[in-house]
Amino acid sequence: MAKEYVDIATLKFLLYQVHKVENLLSAERFQDYDKDSLDLFLNAIKEFSDRELFPYFKEMDETPAMYKNGTIMVHKQVDVMMRKGGEMGIISGPFDYGDGGLQLPFIIHTASAYIQEAANNHLPGYAGLTQGAAELIVHFANRDLRETYVPKMLSGAWGGTMCLTEPQAGSSLSDITTKATPTQEGYYKISGQKIFISGGDHQYAENIVHLLLARIEGAPSGTKGISLFVVPKLRLDKDRNLINNDVMTVADFQKMGQRGYATTHLGFGDKDNCHGWLVGEAHKGLKYMFLMMNSARISVGRGGAAISMAAYQASLEYANERPQGRKLSSDGKKDPDEKPCLIIEHPDVRRMLLLQKSIAEGSLSLVLLAAKYYDIIASTKNPETKEKYSLLLEMVIPIVKTYPTEAGTLSVSNGVQVLGGYGFCSDFILQQYYRDIRIFSIYEGTTGIQSQDLLGRKVPMENGRALELLLTEILHTITTAMEFDDLRSSAKILGEKIKLTRSVLEFLMPFAKKGNYERYLSDANLFMEFLSHVVIGWLWLDITVNAQRNLQEGDTAYSKAFYGSKIHTMKFYFKYELPKTNSLAESLMHPDVLTINTKKEVF
């Protein structure tokens, strides 16, 4: 295990100086907070993570969640996570005061969860899914359901899940078959099965409240006929005692990574005695679920960013301690009589470390940006501001979900390479980070689904207005960067990428206008990668603008070396990563279409 797992200085620099969290505090919703109180909360989270999360990270992988005697047995720290999570406001943080929450800015809640996930990505999911399920109840359920379930969930006494996926349907939610039959008593009888339910059962939860998608008998086919239900593992009888609700844990899934985070197969209504309660109106379940999906997808991207940061910290520590080989002299020779140098002295190791750093910190800035948009939407009273940031959030959400998880996997893979053979061995933690992060590009919609959402829905949204708003934000940063001599060349490079973006879309959009959507979307994953590189380039330029300004003004909040590291990493990103947009654009505008109507014999 490495000694450190997160860079708190960079996190706070991004929060306060780049994303300017204090500007949010002027809103009525957040007026009870100031920088000192936010720092106290984040510092408490860091201390909690140091004590209760990070020390158990490797152990939870070695003693995974396991199905036994009809339930899932998990590590004892799950109990600590839920109880302390309730006490500290980890679960209730972003909820309104009236619902029992702390009314924290979502960006601060996001930062706190990021610290926890960097410390131990197996544990925060139990609290996070409980929060997400409670959020659905708060927003869409009636008063009785809110009063029955939300207080227990926010306290950590009861867990929560979201039950979408079924064995025969996978990601195709229009094909779900779980059935809800209305009764005269006002509840519905639920029958069906759900798979891949994270946190779906464990021995430390007094109760688990499932937010479940099902189809009421006689409902329209497809997604229009899906409704949302509260289905607890144990239901309350007329005397308010908990009794069995015919929800059975069928099995668990043994996974490549995140082995301490239970993933279950659940059966509902095998004895025809599973009660569920409709949330909101019938046939609007998918709409309700997806209204909450923005925060869920931010959470997934946040997890990818956190793991890539933790892996970078472990790689950096190893590179600073491991002597191996000798540096090349200017004439290309090595002196065998010299002592071996630390591997961080080798250029290729530095390249891999800088790649990790650029991805980890760029991903964090992206996640915080989305959380800031979320806060602006929640707190502003100006309808034009709300509309603008709602469109911006919709535009970046697929990228927030995808870049930190896909690029994060690449980043952690390079971390394994930094350690060489040791990186592949269980004695060192890099192999666990590599296994853990792989699932994040699958959670909450695979990369292919996110890519089709980006190009198929978000780019054309309101005749391209959402995209234009995003490009305007990027151009504003470019204009600001042009004021600094040292940043002018980088600003011009990013400006050229905006022109390239327009060229790519000028090539692709005619296919959509002609109704040839299959061709339009056939390389959506390449467009996702292309636009992600542009957006991360923008965020790195923005980070560097702040660092350069602080250096010029003699700001001492951080050291000159700290600011210099941000500038150097931006230059690395612009040299090694941003140029990849050129080859991606070439592929996107290539006349050959090789994935449509391909004969099976090719495979």
CA–CA separation, 509 and 110 (whole Å): 35
CA–CA separation, 166 and 192 (whole Å): 9
Over 90: is that where the pLDDT of 266 sits? Answer: yes
Q: Which residues pair with 252 in a beta bridge?
A: 264
At 163-172, the pLDDT tens digits run: 999 998 877 7
Instruction: Name 587's Cβ contacts closer than 8 Å, sequence gap at least 6.
Output: 523, 526
Q: Which amino acid is at 435?
A: R
Q: Which of 389, 404, 392, 390 is nearest to 444 (CA)?
A: 404
Q: Which residues pair with 247 in a beta bridge?
A: 268
Confidence of residue 331 (pLDDT cuts 50, 70, 90): confident
Tell me the C-alpha to C-alpha distance, in Å, between residue 378 and each of 20, 24, 101, 467. Answer: 17, 11, 15, 21
Q: Based on the residue annotation, tell me whether 444 is a catalytic residue of this protein.
A: yes
pLDDT of 385 = 97
Confidence of residue 489 (pLDDT cuts 50, 70, 90): very high
Confidence of residue 521 (pLDDT cuts 50, 70, 90): very high
Answer yes or no: are the C-beta atoms of 481 and 487 closer than 8 Å.
Answer: yes
Measure the N-to-C terminal CA separation of the chain; round to a whole number of Å: 43
CA–CA separation, 376 and 560 (whole Å): 32
Over 90: is that where the pLDDT of 79 sits? Answer: yes
More confident residue, 284 or 333: 284
Q: What is the mean pLDDT of residues 112-132?
A: 97
At 341-391, the pLDDT tens digits run: 999 999 999 999 999 999 999 999 999 999 999 999 999 999 999 999 999
Burial class (CB in 10 A: 0-12, 13-18, 19+), 548: buried
Over 80: is that where the pLDDT of 507 sits? Answer: yes
Over 90: is that where the pLDDT of 141 sits? Answer: yes
pLDDT of 544 = 98
Q: Which amino acid is at 230?
A: V
Q: How many CB atoms lie within 10 A of CB 280?
A: 17
Among 416-420, 446-450, 483-487, 591-595, the least confident range = 591-595
pLDDT of 280 = 96
Over 80: is that where the pLDDT of 599 sits? Answer: no
Over 80: is that where the pLDDT of 160 sits? Answer: yes
Confidence of residue 602 (pLDDT cuts 50, 70, 90): confident
Q: What is the DSSP letter of 333?
A: -
Q: Which of 66, 62, 59, 53 is nearest to 203 (CA)?
A: 66
- The DSSP string of 285-349 is HHHHHHHTHHHHHHHHHHHHHHHHHHHHHHHHHHHTT-B-S----TTS---TTSPPPBGGGSHHH
Burial class (CB in 10 A: 0-12, 13-18, 19+), 480: middle
Strands (E) across 306-356 are located at none
Q: Which of 376, 379, 377 is nearest to 31 (CA)?
A: 379
Q: Which residues pair with 208 in a beta bridge?
A: 159
- Phi and psi torsions of 197, nearest 5°: -90, 105
At 291-300, the pLDDT tens digits run: 778 899 999 9
Over 80: is that where the pLDDT of 601 sits? Answer: no
Burial class (CB in 10 A: 0-12, 13-18, 19+), 599: exposed
- Phi and psi torsions of 188, nearest 5°: -115, 145
pLDDT of 291 = 79
3-state secondary structure of 164: coil
Q: Which of 102, 105, 78 is nearest to 90 (CA)?
A: 102
pLDDT of 168 = 87
pLDDT of 292 = 79
Catalytic residue among 117, 166, 406, 444: 444
Tokens of 400: 């927030």
3-state SS, 97-155, equals: HHHCCCCCCHHHHHHHHHHHHHHCCCCHHHHHHHHHHHHHHHHHCCHHHHHHHHHHHHC
Q: What is the mean pLDDT of residues 434-454?
A: 96
Is the pTM value of this prediction over 0.85? yes
CA–CA separation, 415 and 316 (whole Å): 9
